[in-house]
Structure 1
Amino acid sequence: MMEVAGSWTEVFERSETKEESAETLLGSSTLTLAPLVSDSPSIRRSQPILITSNRAKGVESFSSSVPSIPNPFPELSKSPVLISSFPPQSSDKHAIKVYGEDSHSRSVWVSPGATAREVCHMLVQTAHCSDQENWALLEVHPTLGLERCLEDHEVVLEVQATWSLKGDTRFMFCKNYAKYEFFRKPMLFFPESMISDSADVNKGMTSSELIKNLLKSGTCPEIQGFLHVKEPSRKAWKKVYFFLRRSGLYSSTKGSSKEPRHLQYVADLDDLNVYTVVNSRKLYGAPTDFTFCIKPSKNPIRVQDLKILCAENEQTRTCWTSAFRLFKYGKQLQRNYEMSKAAPQKVEGSRFADGKSKSEDSLVAMDFSGKAGGRVIQNPMEAQSAEREEGLAWRRREALRCSLPNLNSAVRPSSIHKTQPWFHGGVSRKEAQRLIEKQGLVDGMFLIRDSQQHARCFVLSLCYQLKTKHYLVIPFENGGRKYYTMDDGDTLFIDLLQLVEFHQINKGILPVCLKHPCVCVAL
């Protein structure tokens, strides 16, 4: 036992002062060691000492007299990463784990009523993303190969409550440009061949007018067409004619007959979710890659509950999945679309400091050749001619700049494309198509990858009209210098970055300008 010389006891400073209010005492009571005065009564050391507190009621804490250790990293005191790492003060919050496309995850504390839109906005702020919109929360089932984009109004915790505890289901945070694309280009998503004749209730109205009116009212035209369906407990696939109506999904037992006696009820639209199937040929033996499935929304996912369907092409699959969403949520999707348009947006690559979007719709053709100043070119043919002339002048300037003897190649190395978000290295053709499909089949979605069949070549994968097209970028020697071209040397680029920057303004040989880079999101 260690003894201390002298008699000591623990007292509170200001214990003999007049009692003050709680605001005055808060943080002012300090616990210290003070020597006893000479007239204090002697006590035995084994006797317990009762220390009375003079703190006012309602004061729950006191500070120590020991000086606090300063924070060595004050700039991290308000970091969103640290904030999201600890549980919030309110006890009604719940933690969910969200994965990025690099397989890394982040835990986020959300309220019981938090929607997918609110969680995406929280992740945008936490991950310091450059733009606020076109983000989505995916429900992914890796073992079954199922993926579904949560609607903006869906409550995240309610979706998570339907998962099996033993499964590997997860949330993924990624881009999705095509969430509401069918509102902008309805005829591309709903071709006339798939619209049921019974949907044309208004005589004299064309199919395009019918679709636009139905979308404005939050409904969808009746869809019909052949789909491959996987027979239960068998590996065989059967081609069946389906009808999608407001009352549900039906299949015809006799060809494409619409008679009620030949229709068989398949599913209720209010109680199902639609998933796209990844790697369906390997997992389910599907005849094509354009597979989707429907299942009850309130039950954990089981293989026996899946109704797996397969379309002939991507446009047909997109039409069916979009129609399922519209029939199930109706006017709510229209409200979600209006909210996404009302939110402030910032387009990738925009250099405007005031946040204005630099979209193709806001660009006009100008002519500055006259003495009176610039004029807007109204004639489309004249605008295309001016675009070609500008492209030729741009190529001449670049060729002159590259031919200068004092050009420093170290300023712009040939491997500069490896640092760009649109470059995906050695991914395969099939993987490139899957990445573009996941982030949205909108015109202008693109990425560049290494060619797997041609050495020292690259491939530009571009989405146009719900299809992914691939363009070979080959090296080209001219005047002892190395260039890249996609049109057999008619247009030369010193590197891939210059190629992308040119085609973001000029279509060239492409069907559409490059608009949306397909990027991998890391949390």
Structure 2
Amino acid sequence: KEIEEIILNQIRALNFICQSEILFRHLPTEPLGVLCCIFSQLIKVHGEDNSSRSVWVSSQATAREVCLLLARSAHCSDHQNWALLEHYPTLGLERCLEDDELVLEVQATWSLKDKTRFVFSKNYAKYEFFNKQMRFFPEVMVSDSTDLISFYQQSLMTPGTSPQIQGFLYLKGLRKKSWKKVYFTLRRSGLYRSTKGFEKDPRHLRFAADLDVSNVYTVVDGCKLYGAPTDFNFCIKPTRNQGQVKDLKIICAETEHIRTLWMSAIRLFKVVIIIFLDFFFYLIVSSKSEDSLVAMDFSGNAGGRVIENPTEAQRAEQEEGQTWRKPSLFLLFLHVMNLYILKPEASRDSAGAEMVVHKTHPWFHGGLSRKEAERLIEKQGLADGVFLIRRSQMHENCFVLSLCYELKVKHCIIVPMLKDGKNFFSIDDGETLFIDLLQLVEFYQINKGSLPVRLKRPCICVQL
């Protein structure tokens, strides 16, 4: 049975590739079956829901092409912001492949003893640096730069350069719980550590890592695996390393912001021009921007106009919010019809009824715990507006909105409320009422209301 299943998976994967013509555009079409065996290889990709899929990829297939193939095969409506992750379960290491990396070349560096695998996941923070540069690299941590804006422009257009940053980090020693606070400096020639406090004199700098032949990884659960002093860990791993811990440079930062800063700088150091071109390509193929919504006025007879005045636009947003505070009787009628007439068995249990309504939406993640929600948002990118909704484990019949803002995950309780004999949901102590979670999400995708930022990017887990 196992052999039959493997053969069937290979046939399905081959048929799909022949139909998609994504990864084999450089091959002739007639002898495709023979060439597949010569120039391609079967790889296994895992999803975040523990599902997996085997696909044939060519020797020149990039991570972007494989992600597009998987997104189409999983019937994803959104083909953007998907990423292929390289995951080392035993070491707790994980990194997002750059869009132009060759997938088979990455797999060729793996050891047969390791349980290394590819994971298909959303990553909203892959190009966040280009949108918010000043947040990533504050002037106090950038060395040898008087004009930060011109520094960014020069760094993005010069091959082999990156922000020359400096600061204290914790470096893991040979023993499990042996950590030492060290002053690091990232220079054009590599990563250095000072042997004398925060001294930048070249005489006191020791070479720490060759970034040209290394990759930077996020460390998952570093406190448990390596006894790290904080949860904000990353690792510099040689490309040809076969999973030996002694060759890893495991580093710990004091905050998420500092970890993101250093990891972004190392990425730019390695492939700044490639990343910039990938970001440019991402802007071209994106169907719409997260800020593409504009305020409009439809009160006239001209068919509507764009409101360009910021004050007038803010007033229009507030007026729209006021209309949502009084839920539509028509929507309420549909909600009651759905619960008590179309699905009368669900009306016996209000909590079960809400589960029926919301569990089909990709942003709803059931009984996910607080820590699991933070881990999922962190994995899919700490970008402003990344969110999910889950059931509260502490409050019965309540839900929780987990939202990312300024590299931190905030949790807002969604409370069911009874008004005029009708059930509603509210996130602001009854100031704004919603019939169900779908109406709540749609409102806060347009108006931030009491939230620090609008809901922009839902956490999505697809089944491969």
Shorter-chain TM-score bucket reads 0.7 to 0.9
* Secondary structure at 1:470 match in 2: strand
Corresponding position of 1:178: 125
Distance in 1 separating the partners of 2:367 and 2:399: 9
Structure 1 residue 305 corresponds to structure 2 residue 247 = yes
Distance in 2 separating the partners of 1:405 and 1:312: 50
Corresponding position of 1:83: 15
TM-score by length of 2: 0.86
Aligned counterparts, 1:31-180, within 5 A: 81=13, 83=15, 88-90=33-35, 91-92=37-38, 93-180=40-127
Note the C-alpha offset of 1:457. 1.4
Corresponding position of 1:483: 424
Segment drifting more, 220-229 vs 401-410: 401-410
Distance in 2 separating the partners of 1:254 and 1:127: 54
Structure 1 residue 251 corresponds to structure 2 residue 193 = yes
Structure 1 residues not aligned, in runs of 5+: 1-75, 347-356
* Secondary structure at 1:225 match in 2: strand
The residue identity in structure 2 corresponding to 1:106 is R
The residue identity in structure 1 corresponding to 2:34 is Q
Corresponding position of 2:435: 494
Distance in 2 separating the partners of 1:85 and 1:383: 48
Could you report, residue by residue, the CA deviation over 1:334-372 in whole angstroms, capped at 9, with x for unpaired residues? 1221222222x34xxxxxxxxxx3x44332222333466
Q: Alignment partner for residue 140 of structure 2, among 193, 198, 207?
A: 193
Distance in 2 separating the partners of 1:142 and 1:229: 21
* Secondary structure at 1:361 match in 2: coil
Segment drifting more, 123-132 vs 486-495: 123-132
Could you report, residue by residue, the CA deviation over 1:302-361 in whole angstroms, capped at 9, with x for unpaired residues? 111111101111111111111111101121211221222222x34xxxxxxxxxx3x443
Structure 1 residue 384 corresponds to structure 2 residue 314 = yes
**Residues 187 and 211 of structure 1 are in contact (CA less than 8 Å); yes or no, is this contact kept in structure 2?**
no
Q: Alignment partner for residue 406 of structure 2, among 445, 462, 465?
A: 465
Aligned counterparts, 1:149-298, within 5 A: 149-196=96-143, 198=144, 200=145, 205=147, 207-217=148-158, 219-298=161-240
* Secondary structure at 2:283 match in 1: helix
Structure 2 residues not aligned, in runs of 5+: 1-7, 19-31, 344-352
Could you report, residue by residue, the CA deviation over 1:231-259 in whole angstroms, capped at 9, with x for unpaired residues? 12352211111111110101112221111
The residue identity in structure 1 corresponding to 2:118 is F
Note the C-alpha offset of 1:217. 4.0
Cα 1:97–1:253 change in 2 (3 A) is same
Corresponding position of 2:291: 361
Greater per-residue helix proportion: 2
Cα 1:403–1:418 change in 2 (3 A) is closer
Distance in 2 separating the partners of 1:420 and 1:269: 42
Corresponding position of 1:52: none
Could you report, residue by residue, the CA deviation over 1:73-131 in whole angstroms, capped at 9, with x for unpaired residues? xxx9xx96562599942132211111111222211111222221222222223222222
* Secondary structure at 2:359 match in 1: helix
Structure 1 residue 408 corresponds to structure 2 residue 337 = yes
Distance in 2 separating the partners of 1:183 and 1:455: 42
Segment drifting more, 359-368 vs 446-455: 359-368
Cα 1:166–1:365 change in 2 (3 A) is same
Segment drifting more, 285-294 vs 332-341: 332-341
Overall identity of the aligned pairs, in %: 61
Distance in 2 separating the partners of 1:313 and 1:408: 49
Distance in 1 separating the partners of 2:402 and 2:325: 23
**Residues 443 and 512 of structure 1 are in contact (CA less than 8 Å); yes or no, is this contact kept in structure 2?**
yes
**Residues 85 and 107 of structure 1 are in contact (CA less than 8 Å); yes or no, is this contact kept in structure 2?**
no
**Residues 13 and 55 of structure 2 are in contact (CA less than 8 Å); yes or no, is this contact kept in structure 1?**
no
Structure 1 residue 440 corresponds to structure 2 residue 381 = yes
CA-atom RMSD in angstroms: 2.4
**Residues 444 and 462 of structure 1 are in contact (CA less than 8 Å); yes or no, is this contact kept in structure 2?**
yes
**Residues 80 and 126 of structure 1 are in contact (CA less than 8 Å); yes or no, is this contact kept in structure 2?**
no
Distance in 2 separating the partners of 1:281 and 1:442: 24
Note the C-alpha offset of 1:177. 1.4
**Residues 88 and 109 of structure 1 are in contact (CA less than 8 Å); yes or no, is this contact kept in structure 2?**
no
Segment drifting more, 87-96 vs 398-407: 398-407
The residue identity in structure 2 corresponding to 1:83 is N
**Residues 45 and 52 of structure 2 are in contact (CA less than 8 Å); yes or no, is this contact kept in structure 1?**
yes
Distance in 1 separating the partners of 2:153 and 2:48: 35
Cα 1:234–1:444 change in 2 (3 A) is closer
The residue identity in structure 2 corresponding to 1:190 is F
Structure 1 residue 429 corresponds to structure 2 residue 361 = no
Cα 1:209–1:455 change in 2 (3 A) is farther
Equivalenced residues, count: 427
**Residues 363 and 459 of structure 2 are in contact (CA less than 8 Å); yes or no, is this contact kept in structure 1?**
yes
The residue identity in structure 2 corresponding to 1:446 is F
Note the C-alpha offset of 1:373. 5.8
**Residues 95 and 110 of structure 1 are in contact (CA less than 8 Å); yes or no, is this contact kept in structure 2?**
yes
Distance in 1 separating the partners of 2:324 and 2:177: 57
